[in-house]
Amino acid sequence: MRVLFFGTPAFAVPSLRRILGSRHDVVLVVTQPDRARGRGRRLSQSPVAEVALEAGIPVRKPLRVSAPEFGETLRGLGADLGVVVAYGQFLARRVREAPRLGYLVNAHASLLPRWRGAAPIAHAILAGDAVSGVSLMRVEREMDAGPVAAVRRTPIGDDESAEELGARLAELAAELVVEGLESIAAGVVSWQEQDDALATLAPKLEPSDAELDWKQPATLLARRVRAFSPRPGAWTHLQRERLRILAAGTDDTEADAEPGTVRSRTAGGLRIATGRGWLLPRLLQRSGGRSLDCEAFLRGHPIPDGSRLGNGAAS
Protein backbone atom coordinates (compact mmCIF):
# COMPACT_ATOMS: atom_id res chain seq x y z
CA MET A 1 0.00 0.00 0.00
CA ARG A 2 0.92 3.64 -0.42
CA VAL A 3 1.15 5.13 3.09
CA LEU A 4 1.04 8.61 4.62
CA PHE A 5 3.00 8.74 7.88
CA PHE A 6 2.24 11.30 10.61
CA GLY A 7 4.74 11.43 13.50
CA THR A 8 7.15 13.69 15.33
CA PRO A 9 9.22 12.47 18.35
CA ALA A 10 11.70 9.64 18.80
CA PHE A 11 8.83 7.38 19.89
CA ALA A 12 7.57 7.36 16.27
CA VAL A 13 10.92 6.57 14.66
CA PRO A 14 10.84 2.75 15.04
CA SER A 15 7.42 2.65 13.37
CA LEU A 16 8.60 4.74 10.43
CA ARG A 17 11.75 2.65 10.04
CA ARG A 18 9.73 -0.58 10.16
CA ILE A 19 7.34 0.61 7.45
CA LEU A 20 10.28 1.76 5.30
CA GLY A 21 11.69 -1.76 5.58
CA SER A 22 8.39 -3.40 4.64
CA ARG A 23 6.75 -4.02 1.26
CA HIS A 24 4.66 -0.85 1.66
CA ASP A 25 5.64 2.58 0.30
CA VAL A 26 5.73 5.76 2.38
CA VAL A 27 4.72 8.51 -0.03
CA LEU A 28 4.89 11.41 2.44
CA VAL A 29 5.92 12.07 6.04
CA VAL A 30 4.03 14.78 7.92
CA THR A 31 5.68 16.08 11.08
CA GLN A 32 5.60 19.09 13.38
CA PRO A 33 7.44 22.29 12.33
CA ASP A 34 11.07 22.73 13.40
CA ARG A 35 11.42 23.77 17.05
CA ALA A 36 14.07 25.45 19.19
CA ARG A 37 15.72 22.70 21.21
CA GLY A 38 18.62 22.24 23.59
CA ARG A 39 20.49 24.74 25.74
CA GLY A 40 21.34 26.92 22.77
CA ARG A 41 17.69 26.90 21.62
CA ARG A 42 18.81 26.21 18.08
CA LEU A 43 16.11 25.47 15.52
CA SER A 44 16.11 21.78 14.68
CA GLN A 45 13.84 19.33 12.93
CA SER A 46 12.01 16.45 14.54
CA PRO A 47 13.54 12.95 14.86
CA VAL A 48 10.96 11.67 12.38
CA ALA A 49 11.92 14.34 9.83
CA GLU A 50 15.58 13.39 10.11
CA VAL A 51 14.87 9.71 9.40
CA ALA A 52 12.55 10.50 6.51
CA LEU A 53 14.99 12.86 4.82
CA GLU A 54 17.82 10.33 5.19
CA ALA A 55 15.60 7.81 3.43
CA GLY A 56 14.72 10.27 0.65
CA ILE A 57 11.05 10.49 1.64
CA PRO A 58 9.28 13.84 1.07
CA VAL A 59 8.54 15.69 4.33
CA ARG A 60 5.94 18.35 5.07
CA LYS A 61 5.80 20.40 8.29
CA PRO A 62 2.48 22.27 8.27
CA LEU A 63 1.66 24.72 11.05
CA ARG A 64 -1.97 23.61 10.69
CA VAL A 65 -2.27 20.13 9.26
CA SER A 66 -6.06 20.48 9.12
CA ALA A 67 -6.01 23.55 6.85
CA PRO A 68 -8.23 22.97 3.78
CA GLU A 69 -5.42 23.42 1.28
CA PHE A 70 -3.25 20.81 3.00
CA GLY A 71 -6.10 18.33 2.98
CA GLU A 72 -6.27 18.73 -0.78
CA THR A 73 -2.53 18.14 -1.01
CA LEU A 74 -2.89 14.87 0.89
CA ARG A 75 -5.82 13.74 -1.22
CA GLY A 76 -3.83 14.34 -4.39
CA LEU A 77 -1.06 11.94 -3.38
CA GLY A 78 -3.12 8.83 -4.04
CA ALA A 79 -2.22 7.20 -0.72
CA ASP A 80 -4.16 4.15 0.40
CA LEU A 81 -3.88 4.66 4.17
CA GLY A 82 -2.44 6.97 6.81
CA VAL A 83 -0.46 5.90 9.89
CA VAL A 84 -0.23 8.16 12.95
CA VAL A 85 2.32 7.68 15.74
CA ALA A 86 2.69 10.52 18.27
CA TYR A 87 2.14 13.27 15.72
CA GLY A 88 0.89 16.05 18.00
CA GLN A 89 -1.88 17.91 16.14
CA PHE A 90 -5.63 17.43 15.83
CA LEU A 91 -6.50 15.72 12.54
CA ALA A 92 -9.65 17.07 10.94
CA ARG A 93 -12.04 14.95 8.92
CA ARG A 94 -10.57 16.18 5.62
CA VAL A 95 -7.21 14.75 6.74
CA ARG A 96 -8.61 11.55 8.24
CA GLU A 97 -10.50 10.72 5.04
CA ALA A 98 -7.82 11.80 2.56
CA PRO A 99 -6.43 8.28 1.84
CA ARG A 100 -8.23 5.96 -0.57
CA LEU A 101 -9.50 3.72 2.24
CA GLY A 102 -10.93 6.77 3.98
CA TYR A 103 -9.21 6.54 7.35
CA LEU A 104 -6.00 6.71 9.38
CA VAL A 105 -4.72 4.27 12.00
CA ASN A 106 -2.91 5.31 15.18
CA ALA A 107 -0.52 3.38 17.41
CA HIS A 108 -1.34 4.68 20.90
CA ALA A 109 0.89 3.89 23.90
CA SER A 110 -1.74 2.42 26.22
CA LEU A 111 -4.26 -0.38 26.51
CA LEU A 112 -7.30 1.53 25.32
CA PRO A 113 -9.73 2.66 26.60
CA ARG A 114 -7.37 3.17 29.54
CA TRP A 115 -5.28 6.34 29.30
CA ARG A 116 -6.68 8.22 26.34
CA GLY A 117 -4.70 11.41 25.81
CA ALA A 118 -1.29 12.99 25.35
CA ALA A 119 0.64 11.42 28.26
CA PRO A 120 -0.40 7.76 28.63
CA ILE A 121 3.01 6.45 29.68
CA ALA A 122 3.50 8.89 32.55
CA HIS A 123 -0.06 8.43 33.78
CA ALA A 124 0.28 4.65 33.79
CA ILE A 125 3.38 4.89 35.99
CA LEU A 126 1.81 7.50 38.29
CA ALA A 127 -1.21 5.25 38.79
CA GLY A 128 0.95 2.26 39.67
CA ASP A 129 -0.28 0.17 36.73
CA ALA A 130 1.38 -3.23 36.51
CA VAL A 131 0.81 -3.58 32.75
CA SER A 132 0.96 -1.23 29.78
CA GLY A 133 0.98 -1.72 26.05
CA VAL A 134 0.11 -0.36 22.61
CA SER A 135 -3.25 -0.22 20.83
CA LEU A 136 -3.74 0.10 17.08
CA MET A 137 -6.91 2.14 16.60
CA ARG A 138 -8.76 3.99 13.88
CA VAL A 139 -8.48 7.76 14.20
CA GLU A 140 -11.77 9.55 14.82
CA ARG A 141 -12.77 13.02 15.97
CA GLU A 142 -12.79 12.17 19.67
CA MET A 143 -9.24 11.70 20.92
CA ASP A 144 -8.14 8.05 21.11
CA ALA A 145 -11.75 6.82 21.12
CA GLY A 146 -11.83 4.99 17.78
CA PRO A 147 -12.27 1.23 17.38
CA VAL A 148 -9.24 -0.96 18.08
CA ALA A 149 -7.81 -3.57 15.73
CA ALA A 150 -5.05 -5.06 17.88
CA VAL A 151 -3.10 -4.61 21.12
CA ARG A 152 0.26 -5.61 22.54
CA ARG A 153 0.73 -5.91 26.31
CA THR A 154 3.89 -5.63 28.40
CA PRO A 155 4.55 -5.50 32.16
CA ILE A 156 5.82 -2.26 33.68
CA GLY A 157 9.03 -2.86 35.58
CA ASP A 158 9.08 -2.01 39.29
CA ASP A 159 11.87 0.50 38.73
CA GLU A 160 11.16 1.45 35.10
CA SER A 161 11.18 5.12 34.08
CA ALA A 162 8.93 6.74 31.48
CA GLU A 163 11.89 6.90 29.11
CA GLU A 164 12.66 3.20 29.49
CA LEU A 165 9.04 2.11 29.17
CA GLY A 166 8.55 4.46 26.23
CA ALA A 167 11.47 2.91 24.36
CA ARG A 168 9.98 -0.57 24.75
CA LEU A 169 6.51 0.58 23.75
CA ALA A 170 7.92 2.30 20.65
CA GLU A 171 9.27 -1.04 19.43
CA LEU A 172 5.95 -2.76 20.17
CA ALA A 173 4.16 0.01 18.27
CA ALA A 174 6.39 -0.59 15.25
CA GLU A 175 5.55 -4.30 15.25
CA LEU A 176 1.85 -3.59 15.63
CA VAL A 177 1.77 -0.99 12.84
CA VAL A 178 3.31 -3.27 10.22
CA GLU A 179 1.15 -6.22 11.25
CA GLY A 180 -1.87 -3.91 11.02
CA LEU A 181 -0.86 -2.78 7.53
CA GLU A 182 -0.68 -6.41 6.42
CA SER A 183 -4.14 -7.17 7.85
CA ILE A 184 -5.63 -4.09 6.20
CA ALA A 185 -3.99 -4.85 2.85
CA ALA A 186 -5.34 -8.41 3.00
CA GLY A 187 -8.82 -7.20 3.92
CA VAL A 188 -8.94 -9.24 7.13
CA VAL A 189 -8.67 -6.47 9.75
CA SER A 190 -11.33 -6.57 12.48
CA TRP A 191 -12.29 -3.52 14.55
CA GLN A 192 -13.55 -3.67 18.15
CA GLU A 193 -15.41 -0.68 19.57
CA GLN A 194 -14.05 0.68 22.86
CA ASP A 195 -16.14 0.62 26.03
CA ASP A 196 -16.37 4.31 26.89
CA ALA A 197 -17.47 3.46 30.44
CA LEU A 198 -13.97 2.10 31.09
CA ALA A 199 -12.12 5.10 29.67
CA THR A 200 -9.57 7.00 31.73
CA LEU A 201 -7.84 10.19 30.62
CA ALA A 202 -4.15 11.00 30.32
CA PRO A 203 -3.94 14.76 29.71
CA LYS A 204 -0.69 16.51 28.96
CA LEU A 205 1.44 17.00 32.06
CA GLU A 206 3.05 20.33 32.83
CA PRO A 207 6.42 20.90 34.56
CA SER A 208 4.52 22.10 37.65
CA ASP A 209 3.00 18.61 37.92
CA ALA A 210 6.49 17.22 38.51
CA GLU A 211 6.99 19.01 41.83
CA LEU A 212 7.48 16.60 44.74
CA ASP A 213 5.16 16.92 47.75
CA TRP A 214 7.17 15.48 50.62
CA LYS A 215 4.03 14.78 52.66
CA GLN A 216 3.18 11.97 50.26
CA PRO A 217 4.44 8.41 50.88
CA ALA A 218 7.85 7.52 49.46
CA THR A 219 6.32 4.93 47.11
CA LEU A 220 4.17 7.59 45.41
CA LEU A 221 7.08 10.01 45.19
CA ALA A 222 9.25 7.33 43.58
CA ARG A 223 6.54 6.79 40.97
CA ARG A 224 6.51 10.51 40.25
CA VAL A 225 10.27 10.47 39.80
CA ARG A 226 9.97 7.59 37.32
CA ALA A 227 7.00 9.11 35.48
CA PHE A 228 8.82 12.40 34.82
CA SER A 229 12.27 10.97 34.03
CA PRO A 230 14.16 12.31 32.23
CA ARG A 231 11.98 15.24 31.11
CA PRO A 232 10.92 17.51 32.68
CA GLY A 233 12.29 15.69 35.74
CA ALA A 234 10.68 15.53 39.17
CA TRP A 235 11.87 18.50 41.20
CA THR A 236 11.96 20.17 44.55
CA HIS A 237 13.55 23.27 46.05
CA LEU A 238 16.89 23.28 47.84
CA GLN A 239 17.23 26.73 49.34
CA ARG A 240 16.30 28.96 46.38
CA GLU A 241 17.34 26.60 43.63
CA ARG A 242 15.47 23.83 41.87
CA LEU A 243 16.86 20.37 42.40
CA ARG A 244 15.79 17.64 39.98
CA ILE A 245 15.61 14.02 41.12
CA LEU A 246 15.77 11.75 38.08
CA ALA A 247 16.01 8.34 39.74
CA ALA A 248 15.26 7.19 43.28
CA GLY A 249 14.56 4.19 45.45
CA THR A 250 12.60 3.88 48.68
CA ASP A 251 13.06 2.69 52.25
CA ASP A 252 9.90 1.76 54.15
CA THR A 253 11.49 2.45 57.54
CA GLU A 254 9.45 5.01 59.48
CA ALA A 255 10.89 8.49 59.04
CA ASP A 256 12.02 10.16 62.26
CA ALA A 257 12.03 13.68 60.76
CA GLU A 258 9.63 16.17 59.17
CA PRO A 259 8.79 15.48 55.48
CA GLY A 260 11.45 16.97 53.22
CA THR A 261 14.24 16.67 55.78
CA VAL A 262 17.56 15.39 54.40
CA ARG A 263 19.53 12.78 56.31
CA SER A 264 22.97 11.59 55.32
CA ARG A 265 23.45 7.87 54.90
CA THR A 266 26.32 5.53 54.09
CA ALA A 267 28.00 5.13 50.69
CA GLY A 268 27.88 8.83 49.91
CA GLY A 269 24.11 8.98 49.49
CA LEU A 270 21.09 10.68 50.97
CA ARG A 271 17.72 9.82 52.39
CA ILE A 272 14.82 12.25 52.43
CA ALA A 273 11.96 11.97 54.91
CA THR A 274 8.48 11.66 53.42
CA GLY A 275 4.96 11.26 54.71
CA ARG A 276 5.65 7.54 54.94
CA GLY A 277 9.16 6.17 54.66
CA TRP A 278 12.25 7.59 52.97
CA LEU A 279 13.07 8.53 49.38
CA LEU A 280 16.61 7.54 48.35
CA PRO A 281 17.82 9.70 45.43
CA ARG A 282 20.10 7.99 42.91
CA LEU A 283 20.40 10.62 40.16
CA LEU A 284 20.38 14.39 40.80
CA GLN A 285 20.64 17.54 38.70
CA ARG A 286 20.96 21.23 39.50
CA SER A 287 19.36 23.85 37.27
CA GLY A 288 21.58 24.21 34.22
CA GLY A 289 23.87 21.38 35.33
CA ARG A 290 24.49 17.81 34.26
CA SER A 291 22.69 14.86 35.81
CA LEU A 292 24.99 13.04 38.23
CA ASP A 293 24.71 9.98 40.41
CA CYS A 294 24.11 10.90 44.02
CA GLU A 295 27.65 10.34 45.24
CA ALA A 296 29.23 12.40 42.44
CA PHE A 297 26.65 15.16 42.92
CA LEU A 298 27.38 15.44 46.64
CA ARG A 299 31.12 15.71 46.07
CA GLY A 300 30.57 18.95 44.18
CA HIS A 301 27.39 20.15 45.92
CA PRO A 302 27.17 18.88 49.50
CA ILE A 303 23.71 18.91 51.09
CA PRO A 304 24.12 19.22 54.85
CA ASP A 305 22.36 16.79 57.14
CA GLY A 306 19.11 18.31 58.37
CA SER A 307 18.53 20.47 55.25
CA ARG A 308 14.89 20.94 54.28
CA LEU A 309 13.60 20.51 50.76
CA GLY A 310 10.42 21.92 49.27
CA ASN A 311 8.51 25.16 48.97
CA GLY A 312 9.38 26.28 52.45
CA ALA A 313 13.06 26.06 51.59
CA ALA A 314 12.56 28.36 48.61
CA SER A 315 11.19 31.28 50.59
pTM assigned to the model:
0.94
Dist CA 48 CA 28 (whole Å) = 12
- Residue 41's pLDDT is 72
Confidence of residue 314 (pLDDT cuts 50, 70, 90): very low
- Contact call for residues 5 and 18 (beta carbons, < 8 A): no
Q: Comparing C-alpha atoms, which of 116, 88, 92 is closest to residue 203? A: 116
Dist CA 1 CA 140 (whole Å) = 21
- Count the residues in the chain: 315
Q: Does 211 score more than 90 pLDDT? A: yes
Q: Does 195 score more than 90 pLDDT? A: yes
DSSP string, 167-200: HHHHHHHHHHHHHHHHHHHHT----B---GGG--
| pLDDT (tens digit per residue) in 266-300 | 565 799 999 999 999 999 999 888 999 999 999 88
Dist CA 64 CA 163 (whole Å) = 28
